[in-house]
Amino acid sequence: MVTRVTSDTLVRNIIILLDFVLLFLVVCLFSMYGGYLFVRPHVFWTASALAMIFAEIGFSTVVHLHYQSFDRVLRRVTLLSLVFGVALFFFCGVSKLTIGNIVSYKAIAWVVALMYVVLVLARLVEHLFIKSARSKGRNSRYLTFVGDAHSIKSMLPVLNLNSTSGLKLCGYFSSEEDAEISASMPYLGNYEQMKARLEVDERISDDIYCGLPATEKDMINALICHSMAQSTRFYYLPDFLENFGHYLAPQLVGDQIVFTNFSGPLMDPSNRLLKRSFDILVSGVICLFILPLVPIIALIIKIQSPGPIFFKQLRTGLNGEDFYCYKFRSMHVNKDADKIQATKDDPRKFAFGNFMRKSNIDELPQFLNVLKGDMSIVGPRPHMLAHTEEYRHKIEEYMLRHYVRPGITGWAQVTGFRGETKELWQMEGRVKRDIWYIQNWSFFLDLRIIYKTAMQVFHRDENAW
């Protein structure tokens, strides 16, 4: 089984080597057909190689790992390309100062952009190739579970146990056999039988998942010692977390593992940087485009309804802090604006305001909130302070949605939970989807939500009031 473990490293090294081959091809083709002349090609080659080495050290591929989603693979490629680009600009800049002109910065930008596209396509091909190989039994890891039926059942859905994941189930040790678990993997025996196998120094599997209670420290220590002796991976599923009645997620603080009431991809600083950079770039461009439209929209609003052009309202944002959310005013000035949600036939709306709400035009000023840092393009919709105060006492997980910046649009809004919430189950559904979004965030999920929101402009949402 040692070959199965080391094959992951072999695959990784092959992919890294292929990255350098692709870099060579991209630079070669670009120099031949890109219309740019490399004054000192050997210097540019050296700068490119050094930049790629620098990027690979920190962000080499994870496509070879068995526990990674393709979203994570693409995020890794994006970070690899960003670091490669920054490093290449730096090395070429230093070379220009010391050696002289090599190539224009515009040409460097084109090389970085082409390299990103090529790497994404390469990862897709590599991902498909690895899945195909694993479906034929190659590059596999074998798993064994130890613990009661409940701990094993809680872990099985988390693992990606399809035919192309390369994860194979050896079986499970438990105090007694469970028919439901035995339907997916064999029962290997009770704990006494497991001890007997450990005593003869027999390798059980590549990975061991242990869900024994902490009181069984002798047995847990025996499994840990066995794993170290056999170079297997040991994973402990702490049973005590269930005693609290809430889910607690592990998190690394320094060198210490602690358990927190909430965790997600946006807790990672690199993911937050990627999301914030995208917000600033896109919002800046959109603000420039909508600037000429503001006088036209303002004139129509003034004609149909006296009062200010913009409507600002205090709403709950990141970490529960209040901020002013901006919109084009779509209702007549009224005293209930901070208390009552808009309804389908709300008499407070004027004609153009009704159109703006259905087409999302009224939300455009919120891109200013995004630039300020109060909001994100995608995230849980910010609620009025009155609703935050009401629902935080009715829905236990309500305030978890404020662990990230609120959004102009969100997963709840594109999956049918937009508009008025007349009944509690509607707000519960919205909160459930907001939390799912935070826990499953990816850059490509944001793009998907933006696309679905854009489609609502052409296909009217029945809940858009």
Query: pLDDT digits over 376-403, tens only?
Result: 999 999 999 988 999 988 998 898 899 9
% the chain with pLDDT above 90: 27
Q: What average pLDDT score do residues 65-85 get? A: 83
Could you give the maximum distance between any two Cα atoms of the chain, in Å?
Answer: 88
Q: What is the DSSP string of 146-161?
A: ES-HHHHHHHTTTS--
d(C-alpha 87, C-alpha 85), whole Å:
5
Q: Which whole-number Å values give the CA distances from 106 to 103, 148, 350, in the listed order? A: 8, 61, 50
* DSSP letter (8 states) at residue 380: P
d(C-alpha 7, C-alpha 436), whole Å:
35
Task: Check pLDDT > 50 for residue 2.
Answer: no
* pTM greater than the 0.75 cutoff: no
Let me know if 205 is exposed, middle or buried by CB neighbors in 10 A (0-12, 13-18, 19+).
buried
- Which residue from 441, 452, 442 is spatially nearest to 74, judged by alpha carbons? 442
Paired sense of beta strands 376-378 and 407-409, if any: parallel
Q: What is the per-residue pLDDT for 38?
A: 52
- Phi and psi of 324, rounded to 5°? -85, 120
Q: How many helices (H) and strands (E) does the chain have?
A: 15, 11
Position of tokens 């009944």? 423
Q: What is the CA radius of gyration of the chain?
A: 28
- Phi and psi of 37, rounded to 5°? -100, 130
The four Cα atoms 254, 437, 401, 324 give a dihedral, to 10 degrees, of: 110
Residue 382: strand, helix, or coil: coil
CA angle 49, 55, 59 (to 5 degrees): 145
- Which residue from 297, 409, 305 is spatially nearest to 363, judged by alpha carbons? 409
| Side chain identity at residue 463, one-letter code | N
Position of tokens 């130890």? 146
Local confidence band at 241 (pLDDT 50, 70, 90 cut-offs): low
Q: Which whole-number Å values give the CA distances from 71 to 12, 67, 183, 267, 340, in the listed order? A: 18, 12, 31, 16, 40
Task: Check pLDDT > 60 for residue 236.
Answer: yes
Q: What is the per-residue pLDDT for 314?
A: 92
Q: What is the per-residue pLDDT for 276?
A: 93
- Reported as a single tens digit per residue, the pLDDT across 266-294 is 888 888 888 999 999 999 999 999 999 99
Q: What is the per-residue pLDDT for 35?
A: 56
Q: What is the per-residue pLDDT for 151?
A: 82
Q: What average pLDDT score do residues 12-38 get? A: 80
Task: Check pLDDT > 80 for residue 132.
Answer: yes
Q: What count of other Cβ atoms lies within 10 Å of the Cβ of residue 318?
A: 17
- Reported as a single tens digit per residue, the pLDDT across 295-348 is 999 999 999 988 899 999 999 999 889 999 999 998 888 776 666 666 666 778
How far does the chain reach from its first CA to its final CA, in angstroms? 61
- On average, the pLDDT of the chain sits at 83
Q: What is the per-residue pLDDT for 39?
A: 52
% the chain with pLDDT above 70: 84
| Side chain identity at residue 111, one-letter code | V
Of 10-24, 387-401, 430-444, 448-462, the least confident: 448-462
Beta-bridged to residue 171, according to DSSP, are 144
Task: Check pLDDT > 80 for residue 78.
Answer: yes
- Phi and psi of 216, rounded to 5°? -90, 55
